[in-house]
């Protein structure tokens, strides 16, 4: 092989890798794989039968491309549910998941919901009341996949739901990190740099009292589900992916039991 | 017909009877009927009978008289001759008559409070007693005194000789008829006794059977003549007849108490029913009084919010013109105990039901749900993984489900979630059954994919305890699950555990409003002794058991079949402010721990006494495996209202393991608290149990205060005496004289000259004459 050919191969390889990487990142930002995330491909919600269902919350989005709340869908939840149902004995729908809006009363039949990319999240007054009622009654919300810039909009929306509550930063000693696996969540390095600063785990508690019931947890400046989605590709290190799964398992088991 | 009308009619009847038959009815009842004719009189009777036969024969020869006329005239003529023959045979009664002044009669006068009831001709019963039996110159006592030697007693709770009329106070707080006749019989032993006279309203409230006293009287052939004083039914009275208040109740329990109200004279009137806790009104509701003589069960709801022995008063204000206002209220003692009651909730998987049960009961200070939730199942190398919530210490349940009875019996109830039988060792499965049967705890089995037959529980020891039958072998859960609308059964509509609203009407409405739940399990039949409180109607209209329970051994076992009662909280249809799910689980868990025995259980018998009356202290003392501790040094510390403490040693009864008994006689009125404690034979502390008893003057005299004729009649009939009403006391002396008891002589009472015979004779003759004239046969 000549030097030219070697250079060409290297360039091709770099381009190929760059293309895959760009496509992957683009997918996360909503700019690619439109066919894969086309609205008509969203599966209908699972009918309630008592089993646990991964419920992804949707919200109106008028921008181009795939709606941000759908990032990682459906691979992220499918991979995660396979892990959750294998590691724990949560009786669940593994290959099926639901997408519900905050105005859908069916939400109340599923006591744990998942929300991602909350930087674009807005709620109507009816939805504000519905989410408040949902969380106060006993529901639990896991929020994931948002960079530092998204916090302002997210915090504003949640402050409409709970005007008196403040987000409280958790440290690694909180029981949520020891409910199933004994983990230190800060060992997980975010999958990409655009998320902002150091990851934080923020939570809303009843009466702003960390000893009382937690309503929601936000994986701020992090994207745990990114690890889930690409866990079969080798894009992220296995040990980090494992830790990301552990965080998810702990948060979901905690939400189902506390 | 009212009582007064009946008495008048009865009096007229008796007078008429005595006129027509020459003697009172009593003489006929006591005497033996015989014919006293001599040989010559008998011969005359035969001659007349032959003449009669001849006359009849001649009638038969008459050609003019045929058919019905002949039959009628023959019948009249035959009756005429028959009467004459009857008279010639000298019919008579043989009577055993007590010889005057050779026999004793005991007169027992009721001196209890109920004799103050004013229902004898508008005056009190006591007035009647004083008038007829309280004066030595009264016609009755004068007549009795002529024939018998009298011994007069007064009785209420006890009996004693009456020295003077002034001894009659009519203030006795009890009536013990059996004790009274025993006392009189004992005193008259060895003397010729013609009978005992009991003047009473029959309001016996001794609580003991009177059978033994009656048997002794029968054995000595002493008849008892009972004089019933008062009306058999009061004309105007409202009574709180019964209150089903439990003896022990957990602090904070929302009680649903049945109060039975009876009345006469105020049908349809609306009156308040008030419940007071030491003077503080805890419940008040308007009730409509039932028809006369009928009972109405009223459901009263209030909360036992103060701990310690509490005296609850249930009262209806006195109504205008009431004869016995004292029976409008009842005071009842209940022990309101405090403390956290631990319930072990074993859940087989991380499902929401457990989380919401904990949320529902979190605000209940007296309920502690300890959750042992399996989050991962065992593999070949690792055991089941559990999450523990609500534990008291890091050691509690650290190894999962308890492996010893001692550890398991620390809990008062168990909730068994969706977990398969195979997760337990055979001994742990037996422990679950023993928890109910031996320890007396409550076990609630919830529906789920691994519950009941779907979890392989059919044929296990626990399946014996459950109120439904289970198929053997593992069956798959319903897929999709059955959606059911839950409704209370008739039993559930009034059961404390299924009250989810503050009134009966709101409760029924609330059940109709709840969203449907889902069921995964197919159950067998409901066992014969079980009670279904909630039922579910599925989409095809079939009924499914939702909540059922049964007693099993010392405890109770229950099933709650839906997998998702949490929907009663979360469902979009349920308002955020709606606390039905909390109420349901708080009621249910409180019912589960209610009545669950402790290691030391104390009780008294009876549960209310009067000062000076001894009562029995019973204690059951068990070890940590709930087996009886025998030969222990057990004492009862009785704290009296004044604060004075007395220690009473309790003795093992020998009859039953762990059962101890002692007696105490209170000298003070008020609530006495009794603490049981001590050591076992090896010196170990047995624990502690408490009970309270209320010492107060009995109000029993005012309840069911109408004259109890059936009891008085029974006493008379079983002793061959006679029951007399107040207006029949003029027959008393004769009744005793002719009873045949004591020293007697036989007397003959001729009957041939009874006016009735002459009247009938003349009547027959007149009839014949009139008949002949009417038919032209004269």
Residues in chain A: 258
- Tell me the per-residue pLDDT of B379-408, one tens digit each, with 9 for 90 and over: 888 899 999 999 999 999 999 999 999 999
| From B86-90, B393-397, B478-482, the region with the lowest mean pLDDT | B86-90
Q: Cβ of A108 and B449 within 8 Å?
A: no
- Which residues 6+ apart lie within 8 Å of B546 measured at CB? B484, B486, B517, B519, B534, B535, B536, B560, B561, B562
Burial string for A191-206 (b: 16+ CB within 10 Å, else e) reads beeebbeebbbbbbbe
Write out the residues of chain B at the interface with chain A, using a CB-CB cutoff of 8 A: 348-352, 354-356, 359, 371, 373-377, 385, 387, 389, 449, 479-481, 518, 520, 563-564, 566-567, 569-574, 576
Q: Cβ of B359 and A138 within 8 Å?
A: yes
Q: Cβ of A89 and B377 within 8 Å?
A: yes
**Nearest by CB to B387, which of A107, A133, A257?**
A257
**Nearest by CB to B352, which of A107, A111, A213?**
A111
Tokens representing residue B724 in the block: 């007399």
Give me the pLDDT at residue B63, please.
61
Question: Of the candidates B211, B3, B237, B195, which has an alpha carbon nearest to the alpha carbon of residue B103?
Answer: B195
Given a cut of 50, whether residue B661 has pLDDT beyond it is: yes
Parallel, antiparallel or unpaired: strands B517-519 and B531-537: unpaired
| Kind and range of the H or E run holding A131 | helix A125-137
Phi and psi at residue B221, in whole multiples of 5°?
A: 55, 45
Residue with the larger pLDDT of the pair B280 and B96: B280
**Which chain A residues are Cβ-neighbours of B572 within 8 angstroms?**
105-108, 130
Q: Report the SS3 class of residue A11.
A: helix
Given a cut of 80, whether residue A43 has pLDDT beyond it is: yes
Q: Cβ of A111 and B355 within 8 Å?
A: yes
Q: Cβ of B387 and A179 within 8 Å?
A: yes
| From A22-31, A217-226, B110-119, the region with the lowest mean pLDDT | A22-31
Whether B44 contacts B87, CB under 8 Å:
no
Residue ranges with strand state E in B448-589: 482-488, 517-519, 531-537, 543-552, 555-560
- Which residues 6+ apart lie within 8 Å of A187 measured at CB? A243
CA B189, CA B483: separation in Å to the nearest integer? Answer: 78
| From B60-64, B191-195, B732-736, the region with the lowest mean pLDDT | B60-64
ipTM of the complex: 0.86
Helix B709-718, helix B211-219: angle, nearest 10:
30
- Tell me the per-residue pLDDT of A193-251, one tens digit each, with 9 for 90 and over: 788 889 999 999 999 999 999 999 999 999 999 999 999 898 899 999 999 999 999 99
**Nearest by CB to B376, which of A87, A132, A137?**
A87
- The counts of H helices and E strands in chain B are 19, 35
Residue in chain A lying closest to B573 (CA): A105
Task: Identify the DSSP state of B323.
Answer: S
Give me the pLDDT at residue B86, please.
87
pLDDT more than 90, % of chain B = 69
Parallel, antiparallel or unpaired: strands B615-621 and B600-605: antiparallel
- The counts of H helices and E strands in chain A are 7, 7
Task: Identify the DSSP state of A148.
Answer: G
Query: Cα B266–B268–B269 angle (5° rounding)?
Result: 60
Task: Output the pTM of the full model.
Answer: 0.79
CA B54, CA A249: separation in Å to the nearest integer? Answer: 122
Concatenating the DSSP letter of every residue in A184-250 gives -GGGPPPSSGGG-SS-EEEEEEGGG-TTS-EEEEEEETB-HHHHHHTTTTT-S-HHHHHHHHHHHHH
Smallest CA–CA distance, residue A242 to chain B, in Å, is: 17
Give me the pLDDT at residue A84, please.
98
**Which chain A residues are Cβ-neighbours of B351 within 8 angstroms?**
50, 52, 90-91, 256
Given a cut of 80, whether residue A29 has pLDDT beyond it is: no
**Nearest by CB to B572, which of A49, A105, A179?**
A105
Average pLDDT over chain B, rounded to an integer = 92
Concatenating the DSSP letter of every residue in B347-362 gives ESS--HHHHHHHHHHT
SS3 labels along B137-177: CCHHHHHHHHHCEEEEEEECCCEEECCCHHHCCCCECCCCH
Q: Which residues pair with B258 in a beta bridge?
A: B299
Counting one residue from chain A and one from chain B, the pairs whose CB atoms sit within 8 A come to: 88
- Tell me the per-residue pLDDT of B440-474, one tens digit each, with 9 for 90 and over: 999 999 999 999 999 999 999 999 999 999 999 88
Give me the pLDDT at residue A40, please.
46
**Nearest by CB to B350, which of A90, A134, A138?**
A90
Question: Of the candidates A216, A228, A250, which has an alpha carbon nearest to the alpha carbon of residue A71?
Answer: A228
| Exposed/middle/buried for residue B319 (C-beta within 10 Å: 0-12, 13-18, 19+) | middle
Residue ranges with strand state E in B191-269: 193-200, 224-228, 237-243, 248-250, 254-264
């Amino acid at each position: 092989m000549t030097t030219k050919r070697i250079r060409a191969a290297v360039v091709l390889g770099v381009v190929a890798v760059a293309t895959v990487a760009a496509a992957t990142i683009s997918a996360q930002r909503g700019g690619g794989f439109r066919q894969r995330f086309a609205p008509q491909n969203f599966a209908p919600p699972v009918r309630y039968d008592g089993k646990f269902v991964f419920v992804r919350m949707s919200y109106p989005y008028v921008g181009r491309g795939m709606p941000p709340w759908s990032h990682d869908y459906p691979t992220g939840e499918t991979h995660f549910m396979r892990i959750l149902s294998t590691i724990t004995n949560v009786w669940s729908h593994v290959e099926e998941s639901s997408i519900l809006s905050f105005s859908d009363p069916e939400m109340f039949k599923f006591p744990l919901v998942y929300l991602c990319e909350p930087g674009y999240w807005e709620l109507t007054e009816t939805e504000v009341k519905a989410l408040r009622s949902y969380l106060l009654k006993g529901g639990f919300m896991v929020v994931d996949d948002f960079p530092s810039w998204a916090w302002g909009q997210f915090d504003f929306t949640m402050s409409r739901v709970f005007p008196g509550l403040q987000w409280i930063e958790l440290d690694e000693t909180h029981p949520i990190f020891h409910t199933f696996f004994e983990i230190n969540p800060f060992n997980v390095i975010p999958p990409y740099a655009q998320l902002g600063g150091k990851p934080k785990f923020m939570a809303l508690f009843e009466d702003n009292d960390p000893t009382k019931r937690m309503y929601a947890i936000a994986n701020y400046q992090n994207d745990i589900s990114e690890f889930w989605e690409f866990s079969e590709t080798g894009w992220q290190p296995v040990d980090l992916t494992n830790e990301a799964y552990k965080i998810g398992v702990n948060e979901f088991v905690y939400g189902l039991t506390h | 017909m009212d009582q007064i009308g009946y008495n008048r009619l009865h009096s007229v009847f008796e007078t008429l009877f005595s006129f027509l038959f020459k003697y009172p009815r009593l003489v006929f009842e006591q005497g033996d009927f015989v014919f006293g004719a001599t040989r010559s009189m008998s011969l005359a009777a035969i001659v007349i009978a032959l003449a009669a036969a001849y006359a009849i024969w001649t009638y038969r020869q008459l050609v003019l008289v045929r058919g019905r006329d002949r039959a009628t005239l023959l019948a009249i003529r035959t009756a005429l001759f028959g009467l004459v023959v009857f008279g010639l045979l000298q019919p008579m009664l043989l009577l055993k008559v007590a010889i005057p002044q050779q026999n004793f009669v005991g007169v027992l006068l009721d001196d209890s409070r109920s004799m103050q009831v004013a229902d004898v001709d508008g005056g009190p019963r006591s007035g009647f007693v004083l008038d007829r039996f309280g004066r030595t110159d009264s016609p009755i006592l004068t007549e009795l005194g002529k024939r018998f030697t009298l011994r007069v007693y007064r009785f209420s709770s006890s009996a004693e000789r009456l020295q003077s009329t002034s001894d009659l106070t009519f203030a006795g707080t009890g009536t013990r008829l059996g004790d009274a006749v025993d006392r009189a019989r004992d005193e008259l032993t060895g003397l010729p006794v013609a009978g005992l006279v009991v003047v009473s309203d029959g309001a016996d409230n001794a609580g003991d059977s009177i059978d033994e006293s009656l048997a002794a009287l029968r054995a000595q052939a002493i008849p008892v003549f009972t004089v019933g004083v008062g009306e058999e039914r009061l004309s105007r009275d409202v009574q709180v007849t019964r209150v089903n208040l439990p003896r022990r109740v957990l602090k904070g329990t929302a009680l649903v108490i049945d109060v039975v109200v009876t009345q006469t004279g105020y049908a349809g009137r609306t009156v308040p029913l008030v419940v007071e806790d030491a003077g503080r009104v805890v419940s008040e509701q308007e009730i409509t009084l039932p028809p006369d003589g009928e009972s109405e069960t009223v459901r009263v709801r209030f909360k036992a919010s103060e701990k310690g022995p509490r005296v609850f008063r249930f009262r209806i204000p006195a109504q205008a013109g009431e004869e016995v206002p004292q029976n409008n209220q009842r005071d009842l003692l209940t022990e309101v105990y405090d403390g956290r009651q631990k319930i072990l909730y074993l859940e087989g998987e991380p499902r929401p039901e457990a989380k919401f049960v904990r949320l529902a009961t979190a605000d209940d200070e007296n309920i502690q749900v300890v959750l042992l939730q399996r989050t991962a199942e065992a593999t070949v190398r690792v055991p089941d993984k559990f999450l523990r919530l609500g534990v008291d210490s890091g050691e509690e349940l650290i190894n999962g489900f308890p492996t010893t009875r001692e550890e398991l019996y620390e809990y008062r109830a168990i909730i068994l979630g969706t977990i398969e039988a195979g997760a337990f060792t055979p001994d742990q499965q037996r422990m679950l059954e023993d928890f109910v049967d031996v320890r007396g705890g409550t076990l609630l089995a919830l529906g789920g994919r691994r519950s009941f037959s779907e979890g392989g529980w059919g044929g296990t020891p626990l399946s014996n305890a459950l109120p439904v039958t289970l198929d053997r072998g593992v069956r798959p859960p319903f897929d999709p699950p059955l959606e059911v609308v839950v409704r209370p059964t008739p039993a559930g509509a009034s059961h404390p555990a299924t009250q989810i609203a503050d009134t009966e009407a709101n409760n029924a409405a609330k059940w109709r409003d709840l969203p449907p739940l889902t069921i995964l399990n197919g159950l067998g039949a409901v066992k014969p002794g079980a009670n279904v409180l909630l039922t579910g109607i599925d989409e095809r209209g079939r009924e499914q058991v939702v909540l059922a329970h049964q007693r099993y051994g010392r405890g109770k076992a229950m099933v709650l079949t839906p997998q998702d009662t949490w929907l009663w909280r979360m469902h979009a249809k349920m308002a955020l402010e709606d606390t039905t799910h909390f109420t349901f689980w708080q009621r249910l868990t409180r019912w589960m721990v209610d009545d669950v025995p402790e290691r030391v259980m104390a009780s008294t018998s009876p549960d209310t006494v009067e000062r000076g009356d001894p009562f029995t202290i019973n204690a059951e003392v068990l070890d940590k495996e709930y087996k009886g501790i025998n030969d222990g040094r057990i004492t009862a510390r009785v704290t009296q209202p004044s604060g004075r403490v007395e220690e009473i040693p309790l003795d093992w009864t020998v009859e039953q393991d762990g059962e101890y008994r002692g007696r105490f006689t209170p000298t003070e009125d008020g609530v006495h608290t009794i603490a049981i404690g001590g050591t076992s034979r090896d010196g170990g502390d047995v624990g502690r149990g408490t009970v309270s008893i209320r010492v107060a003057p009995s109000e029993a005299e005012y309840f069911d205060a109408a004259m109890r004729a059936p009891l008085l009649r029974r006493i008379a009939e079983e002793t061959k005496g006679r029951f007399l009403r107040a207006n029949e006391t003029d027959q008393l002396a004769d009744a005793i004289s002719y009873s045949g008891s004591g020293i007697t002589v036989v007397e003959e009472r001729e009957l041939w000259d009874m006016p009735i015979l002459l009247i009938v004779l003349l009547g027959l003759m007149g009839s014949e004459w009139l008949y002949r004239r009417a038919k032209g046969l004269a």
